[in-house]
Structure 1
Amino acid sequence: MSVLALGGYQTAISQVEDARQAEARLLARLTANLARATARPVRDQAEFMQALHDNDRFWSQIAADLAGDGNRLPETLRAGLISLAGFVLGHSAALRRGEGEPQPLIDINRAVIRGLSGVTGAE
Structure 2
Amino acid sequence: MTSTQTLSPAYGRPDIGLRSPRSIEYDLIARVTQRLRSAWEARKQDFAALAAALHDNNRLWSTLAADVAEPGNGLPAALRAQLFYLFQFTAEHSRAVLNDGASAEVLIDINTAVMRGLRGTGPEGGA
Short-chain TM bin: 0.7 to 0.9
> Which protein has the bigger helix share?
1
Indicate the residue corresponding to 2:38 in structure 1.
36
Give unpaired runs (5+ residues) of structure 1: 1-14
Q: Which has the higher contact order (CA 8 A, sep 6+)?
A: 1
4+ long deviations beyond 6 Å = none
Give the 3 Å change call, closer, same or farther, for CA 99–21 of structure 1 in structure 2: same
On the 8 A contact 2:113/2:123 being kept in 1, the answer is no
Identity, % of aligned positions = 43
Indicate the residue corresponding to 2:10 in structure 1.
none
Indicate the residue corresponding to 1:5 in structure 2.
none
Task: Find the aligned partners of 1:34 and 1:43 in 2 and give their Cα distance.
Answer: 14
On the 8 A contact 2:43/2:50 being kept in 1, the answer is no
Indicate the residue corresponding to 2:108 in structure 1.
106
Q: How do residues 1-123 of structure 1 correspond to structure 2 at under 5 angstroms?
A: 18-40=20-42, 42-123=44-125
1:35 offset after TM fit, Å? 0.4
- Computed over aligned residues only, the root mean square deviation of the Cα atoms, in angstroms, reads 1.6
How many residues matched?
108
The TM-score, its normalising length taken from structure 2, stands at 0.79
Give unpaired runs (5+ residues) of structure 2: 1-16
Deviations 1:17-68 (A, max 9, x none): 7111111100000000000011127241111011000000000010011001
